[in-house]
Structure 1
Amino acid sequence: MGKQLIYSVYFIMPILLLWGAKPQGKGQWNDSLSLSQTKAFQGFLTVAIMLHHIGQKTCASWLFPKSRIIPGLEFFVPIGYILVSFFLFFNGYGAYKSFHTKKNYLNGFVKKRILPVVLSLYSTTLIFFIARLLIGEKMDMPGALLYLSSIKLCNPNTWYVIVLPFFYLAFYLAFRFIKKDGLAVAATTAFVVAYILVGTSIDHNDYLIRGEWWWNCVHMFPVGILFAKYEDKIIPHLKKYYWVYAILAVAALYPLYLYSVHAQDFFSYYGENFGAPDKVLRRRMTLLSQVFVTMDFVFASLLLGMKVKIGNRFLKFMGTITLEFYLIHGLFVELCDHTFDGGVKSPFPIKNVFLYVLVVFALGVPSAILLKKLHGLILGIGKKEKQPVELKKAS
């Protein structure tokens, strides 16, 4: 009976999302692009990402020996990149909207946008490094330096905060030095595309850009910028043909996902494993299928948000610690797994998956709060800082 409790997450998650939700009546619209709505949805997605990471440790098909597999979270195992695509979309969307609505937005951009992400990377890297030493992982000086520099990921979930600062930097340089808005957008997009082309040409490895999860949803960053640029034309059009787009977007999501699974099986990201001469082409063809599903997921989410306003205390709270929870919950995922990031034996393995989830969440939330406070102290973000305001429409 205890093993079956994990399936309750499929009832709990919709309740967490929809508790307190308010459907909009005919002719009424919710701003699904508002800061409060996007933060609430990101808070929900952060919990889903936690389930994704725990699913990878408990029921992923690649686990060995097979006796380790405990069913329950299979749904979450393959969809991590889809969940993260929403964050990248709004990273790009938010940067562009803020540039056009906040006076002198680029002044202090590195401190406000890039430094907090870099700090999050290295603070959690240090925490994971200490944890690795405490549980008995052996490493020489070169190995320690690789970990501490994040050339080899000490915290296995930090690819996002390694890549994002470079995207922000490309945005900053483009909009600082290119006066024409369209050219600045094109330059930022070109940088992300170049990164993807480089990423798809690199074989799987133990260091930077080590696999497809480093680049299979990053296209959503420039997509967010483009959406923000043309939002004033896009939103009225969507409202005019709302039900057509909403039905098509939702109906297409599962078929597009199945197509992406088929593409991964047919083309494969792992052509180097079987000596495929066209391994780079195979990766790019597989990536294309995932471009479709990530774009449709974000599109469907925005459309549904136009008619349903989500929000409750839980989502509002989780929306304030998304980055910190994303980065720190993995520590407890590893400590309660079979092995710590594939290395030494984990000190507190939990076989009951539902209990595993509860422990990771219960320890992850206060840790994220403390981490956020620590970052605030280091960056000089005090209590007098004003609360973020809703982003206005770009002119």
Structure 2
Amino acid sequence: MQQAIYSVYVILPILLLWGAKFTGFKKFNDEFLSIKQTKAFQGFLAVCIMLHHIAQKTCASWIYPPSRIVHGLDIFVDMGFLLVSVFLFFNGYGVYKSFHAKDNYLKGYFKKRILPVVLALYTTTFIFFIARLLVGEKMNGEQIRLYLTSIQLCNPNTWYVIVLPFFYLFFYISFRFIKKDGLAVAATCALVIAYMLYGTTVDHNDYWIRGEWWYNCVILFPVGIVFAKFEKKIIPHVQKFYWFYLILFLAAYYPIRIGVNNVANMFGYYGEGWIPQNIVVMNRRITLAAQSVLCTWFVMCWLLLGMKVKIGNAFIKFMGTITLEFYLIHGLYVELFGWQFDGGVPSPHHIKYVIVYVLVVFALGVPSAILLQNIHHVILGKKKLRDIFKVPTMKKEAQIETKKKDKSA
């Protein structure tokens, strides 16, 4: 039964490529950076991130005792920062394109870009707080304050939605007060890099910037902005030499990943490397630079494939509509059905078979994400309270897309 978990390596390509269309050898997918395509791709990545979190509970090398380790999802254990790097690229790309496509885009910017992310952070924080109480975690007044403010993560997967509003704020400050586009782009890049460099000065802790995953992939936010600014030059050039770039990036990805892993083993982030650790911040920055290259390379591989393959079946389109909420809420079930809840309290029910664990987390995560999104929409004024239990379906999403096409025809 435990061997059934390997079926995910067959299921995942099917989920991504079902209904996909190859454009042909001489044509390109002009929609590979459209909202429709990027949302569908993010929907697929959300499932991969779920597998990453489950892998860390089932087959990570740090699980103790080792007898608890069940192999199968090993490839996903250290994939988290690479998967999130794709989201950050699209965040940066999307905010820059929106700024130039919409009049007075910065008016109401906080409500449109920042508030939804902050709201998602604190609603899931509250849900996790209640769950922690129910599973029996003991808290004093100080711990309650730290959890409810998210200064200490009540939901262990929220680092991304904590740092993203700051990056959006960096963009706002740069483009609000700097009128020259190139300088505004440079300022945003500088602010994100400053955050990364600051991160390398912080030791492991229980609060914000807990570890390298808080900053080792965030370079993709400014990379997305730079790509958006120069895409009219970048894309024609890449298309002209497409097959060269595709073969180069795909062939070099694995050697680069091995090389970056070796750099991390040599220098490390927190004294784990074998290089002398008396220059620990410098060692962290060397490791960070290497992993930033790897993240960029990983994203470019996917973009190159997207230029030739048009994806978008009903499933990943649907998942693309609930990506943020699913990203934040599925971890509740990862914790409830693992060996122990984050923080050390035993989980109320351990699911022995990993494939069943995956299916249960997904089956509960999707409706929870839908409900959570509806609650967010009511709070933000996008939906009325009486409509909160109207569940979007994959069929309904397809009908909406058809109506949009009919109107544009």
| Equivalent-residue separation in structure 1 for 2:272 and 2:305 (angstroms) | 40
1:284 is aligned to: 285
**Secondary structure in 2 matching 1:360:** helix
| Equivalent-residue separation in structure 1 for 2:248 and 2:42 (angstroms) | 23
Residues 216, 287 of structure 1: 8 Å contact kept? yes
1:340 equivalent to 2:327? Answer no
CA apart distance, 1:382: 3.0
CA apart distance, 1:316: 0.3
| Equivalent-residue separation in structure 2 for 1:134 and 1:174 (angstroms) | 44
1:102 is aligned to: 102
Amino acid of the residue matched to residue 241 of structure 2? Y
CA apart distance, 1:263: 1.4
Amino acid of the residue matched to residue 33 of structure 1? L
Identity %: 66
Amino acid of the residue matched to residue 75 of structure 1? I
**Secondary structure in 1 matching 2:321:** coil
Deviations 1:63-94 (A, max 9, x none): 11111111110000011100000000010000
Larger displacement relative to structure 2 (278-287 or 72-81)? 278-287
Deviations 1:104-158 (A, max 9, x none): 1111000000000000000000000000001110000000000011110000000
**Secondary structure in 1 matching 2:277:** coil
Residues 374, 383 of structure 2: 8 Å contact kept? no
CA apart distance, 1:273: 9.3
1:393 is aligned to: none
CA apart distance, 1:278: 1.1
**Secondary structure in 1 matching 2:144:** helix
Map 1:1-395 → 2, pairs under 5 A = 2-30=1-29, 31-271=31-271, 276-382=277-383
Q: Can you give the 5+ residue segments of structure 2 that lack an aligned partner in the other structure?
A: 388-399
Amino acid of the residue matched to residue 135 of structure 2? I
Residues 267, 273 of structure 2: 8 Å contact kept? no
Amino acid of the residue matched to residue 244 of structure 1? F
CA apart distance, 1:351: 1.6
Residues 203, 272 of structure 1: 8 Å contact kept? no
Residues 265, 272 of structure 2: 8 Å contact kept? no
Q: Which runs of 4+ in 1 moved over 4 A?
A: 272-275, 387-390
Amino acid of the residue matched to residue 374 of structure 1? I
Larger displacement relative to structure 2 (276-285 or 137-146)? 276-285
| Equivalent-residue separation in structure 2 for 1:289 and 1:14 (angstroms) | 28
Q: Can you give the 5+ residue segments of structure 1 that lack an aligned partner in the other structure?
A: 391-395
**Secondary structure in 2 matching 1:303:** helix
| Equivalent-residue separation in structure 1 for 2:78 and 2:260 (angstroms) | 11
Distance 1:321 1:129, change over 3 A: same
| Equivalent-residue separation in structure 2 for 1:211 and 1:348 (angstroms) | 29
| Equivalent-residue separation in structure 1 for 2:163 and 2:295 (angstroms) | 18
Residues 167, 192 of structure 1: 8 Å contact kept? yes
| Equivalent-residue separation in structure 1 for 2:123 and 2:196 (angstroms) | 27
CA apart distance, 1:26: 3.3
| Equivalent-residue separation in structure 1 for 2:352 and 2:291 (angstroms) | 32
Amino acid of the residue matched to residue 28 of structure 1? K
Amino acid of the residue matched to residue 260 of structure 1? V
TM-score (norm 2): 0.92
CA apart distance, 1:348: 1.3
CA apart distance, 1:27: 2.6
**Secondary structure in 1 matching 2:205:** coil
| Equivalent-residue separation in structure 2 for 1:54 and 1:254 (angstroms) | 23
